[in-house]
Amino acid sequence: MTSFDAIVIGGGHNGLTAATALSRSGRKVVVLEAHQEAGGALRGDTFHPGFRANGPGQIINRLDPDVAKLMALPANLAGGRELPTTLLSGAEAPVILEGAYGDRISGVSPEEAERFRTLRDKLIFQAGILRRFLKRTPPPLEKIGMGDLTALGTAGLALLFKGREEGRDFLRMLLMNVADVADEYLTDDRLKALVAFDATLGIQLGPRSPTSLLGLYYRLTGEANGRIGGQFVPEGGMAALGEAFVAGALKAGVTLRTGAAVGRILADRGVVSGVVLESGETLTAPIIVSAVHPKTTFLALVDATEIGTGFRRAIGNIRSMGNVARLDLALDAPPNFTGVPEDALTGRLVIGRSMQHVETAFNPSKYGELPADPVMEVMLPSLSQPSLAPSGAATLSALIPFVPYALKEGWESGRDRLRNAALAVLERHAPGTGRSVQAARVLAPPDIEAAYRMPGGHWHHGELQADQLLVNRPVHAASRFSTPLEGLFLASAGAHPGGGISGLPGLLAARQILAGEKR
């Protein structure tokens, strides 16, 4: 039996962040990772001989500066060349957004570019109000402290400085759908498609669903290269960033054990004392930090008798059904996207004609069906990471939203239908792609669930909707990282503030643990 001051379950970037913060405070910490390689969703794999893919995430747009500093991430991994976004509609020339979410726009009229910048500036300002609360632990509703009042006051002052009209507009827009907001500001269907796509990617809402604007706010609460709305791919790719998180944890003195799946969290009369691995080995510690999905934590690892039935029911009701599939292609040569300049090919390509196109792609998912004409986010990772493909060849990765976890027809036939639909879309925008395909792999939500141990295959570990954010993430009784079990804390994307490669759930959880020990 081995003893530690803290045991962290899960070696993804949040678990490594929490472990590093605790270790730097003088604690003896071990991270237990079930997979043979740490890194979580940053971990890539070989999907065809000679061809590798990155993990579920394709770009960085939320990495928190405090996390980068804590983990001692090299500058070329904590930041990078800002990637453009190219909008492909097929009927018109591409629209290219450069800078932090469209500082500069080409492919639309000057008047439309100005309208987009007006909307962008408003959304970034409003998202900044929310960002103040995502960067700190949610306050206990029964006992709001001075720091919480200060945050509320600062947010209020920011609104006042903008004027009463801006304050009213913030309250008006907060729970609106993204389609109505886009219609207020924009006239170009392609730009409307972009904001609709970005607001709903990874969320089970369509553009016209109430509160869908929250998804775009959430995207714009992150930053990259110190700029809100920025996005980049780390030098060497996402896997290199995962390796840097591992290196940062090891340098801080964290013990890392891979291939060490936890079978059970030990607890007696509401107090945790350690874990038992699936191998039968027991490790003890007064602090357990679970950086895996809350459903895994409480429905699979914790004895039901140790938590109340109401709490267990609330955890079971967390909406966490993933709705994004991933297509990985091994290609003989880089595809030629019509009208897209060469330097834009290393950015992201969003395929969507209009708001209606995004809404129409969403609608079938409500009934467990696949979109016939999917929208998607496409990247060509091997252009900036040549090691992912043999010389002269290329990889293409596409995220396809609105793909139901529980597909009515079943995934045995569904994978082929989704692959064929996606290839047909790609062929329209990059003629000849189909002839270049050596291999195609579709990762449906159940496949992502199995590969990354994410219940439902949901990369946020739970829907980012109003009732599952802030004081209700993952549920109210565990919204401040602590749980009904004394000594057990949450630090995954299912905890506050949510998913994305930010490291904030891990950092804030560690801070909460350390603050509690000081009292």
Q: What is the pLDDT at residue 92?
A: 83
C-beta separation of 396 from 326 below 8 A:
no
Question: What pLDDT digit, counting tens, does each position of 458-504 carry?
Answer: 989 999 998 999 899 999 999 999 999 999 999 999 999 999 999 99
C-beta separation of 63 from 283 below 8 A:
no
Question: What pLDDT digit, counting tens, does each position of 426-457 carry?
Answer: 999 999 999 999 999 999 999 999 999 999 99
Distance CA(260)–CA(276), nearest Å, equals: 10
Contacts for 325 with CB less than 8 Å, ≥ 6 apart: 399, 400, 403, 418, 442, 443, 444, 445
> Which of these ranges, 166-170, 191-195, 232-236, 491-495, has the smallest mean pLDDT?
166-170
Question: What pLDDT digit, counting tens, does each position of 284-336 carry?
Answer: 999 999 999 999 999 999 999 999 999 999 999 999 999 999 999 999 999 99
| Domains (range + CATH), the chain | 2-50+63-77+236-319+459-518 (3.50.50.60)
Nearest to 248 by CA among 73, 33, 77, 76: 73
Please state, for a pLDDT cut of 90, what percent of the chain lies above it. Answer: 81
Sequence-ordered alpha helix ranges (H) in 283-389:
294-295, 309-316, 355-362
pTM above 0.95, yes or no: no
| pLDDT higher than threshold 50 for residue 184 | yes
Nearest to 185 by CA among 130, 111, 127, 104: 111
Dihedral sign for Cα atoms in the order 268, 270, 271, 273? positive
The stretch 106-133 carries a mean pLDDT of 93
| pLDDT higher than threshold 80 for residue 166 | no
